[in-house]
Amino acid sequence: MAENLTAPNFNRRWNPPQVSKFAEKARLIGWYLRETGIWCETTDSERHFTVRSIHEMMKSTAFVAAAMSLASRQLDHVERQQRPVTLELYQYTIQLLLRQHAVKSDASMLAACTLLCVYEMMASEVHEWRRHLKGCAGHLQAKGWNGSANGIVKSCFWAFPRIDVWAAFVSEKTTLIPTDFWLDDMSIESVAAKGDVDEYCNLANLIFAKIVNLRATGYHATAVRSLWDELQTWYHLRPQSVVCGNTFHHTGCILLLQTGILPVAMGTPFLEETVSPLFVAGTVFSSGPGARGLDHNIPSGRSSGRAEITSVADVEDLYSTEKILLLKHLARIERESGWKTSDHAATLRTLWGLE
**CB contact at 8 A, 276 and 325:** no
**CB contact at 8 A, 326 and 282:** yes
Looking at beta carbons, which pairs linking 183-190 to residues 24 or more positions away fall under 8 Å?
A: 183/146, 183/147, 183/148, 184/146, 184/148, 185/148, 188/230, 188/233, 188/234, 188/237, 189/233, 189/237
Domain residue spans of the chain: 18-181, 185-274, 276-355
Q: Could you give the residue ranges of the DSSP H alpha helices within the chain?
A: 22-31, 54-57, 61-78, 84-99, 107-123, 126-143, 151-171, 188-194, 197-217, 221-237, 243-258, 264-274, 277-284, 303-307, 309-313, 320-337, 342-351
Structure-model confidence comparison of residues 332 and 230, the more confident one: 230
In the prediction, which pLDDT does 270 show?
63
Comparing 107-121, 195-209, 255-269, the range with the smallest average pLDDT is 255-269
Structure-model confidence comparison of residues 167 and 311, the more confident one: 167
CA distance 244 to 228: 18
Structure-model confidence comparison of residues 214 and 317, the more confident one: 214
Q: 139 pLDDT exceeds 60?
A: yes
Highest mean pLDDT among 116-125, 178-187, 310-319: 178-187
- Tell me the pTM: 0.82
Q: Average pLDDT of 197-219?
A: 96
Reported confidence tier of residue 40, pLDDT bands at 50, 70, 90 = very high
